[in-house]
Structure 1
Amino acid sequence: MSNRIIATEVPESRRLDFMPEAFTPCMMMRAEGLVFHQASLLARSYSGAYWDFFTLSNGGFYLAPRSDRRFEVQVEGNGFEGDVSADAFGIIVTLFVYGALVWVDDEALREKYSDHYHQLRAFAVEHDEGGAILRAID
């Protein structure tokens, strides 16, 4: 029996439920804006995309742009520069978003976003591009 964390793409029929579940109804618009803003900060070549949603078997969530291309990521805060898949880019972006949201003025939401950050980070450790993801968020 494997303890690996499994990512499952959210089907079209459940897309409307994803953002309120992952970020809460009151914060989903803010979170969506943060995703697009963070993506444009991390990859100069990012100019918008259709984003897929994923749930994790450990209770976590993430978003990733639907794309076959790779993204050149630059993180000013830690000097990371690397070429990653769209999936890894989405994980990096989502981790940065959860990291920003842990500063909200609501203890229950801070705990929720902290839990989601750690659930996604645990998945990132197992990801094929885990080393790059971890270096990007360091």
Structure 2
Amino acid sequence: MDLAQIRQQVMTGASAVSAKKATDVVVLEVGPLLGITDFFLLLSTANARQLKAAVEEAEHQLRTTHGRRPIGREGSPEAGWIVLDYGDFVIHAFTAVQREVYGLERLWSDAVRTEVDEAVEAR
């Protein structure tokens, strides 16, 4: 699958979580830095219930639109974080508090960053 197709799938996930009131939705292009995946989709929610709803909507939209299912899943709404691994991209969903704790944007500060609010509107 080429990078444009993967990016399109990531944006489908971004649109899905945004529709469920996720905030601070960001795509990091980590492929050149990491080598095992191309993109991280990061998002925050206000609470565990929103976290669950956002992740479920992303899974649903990626399955129905692109026929994709995660190859791995970790975390839980109660823990305040969920990771969905799709191989060529990974969705990192957090409550706002847990996102600060993990600080993935600080860890991957060299990655090309796309603010999804702007990118979703451009689609």
TM-score normalised per structure 2: 0.34
* More helix as a share of residues: 1
TM-score by length of 1: 0.31
Select the structure of larger CA radius of gyration.
Answer: 1
Q: Which has the higher contact order (CA 8 A, sep 6+)?
A: 2
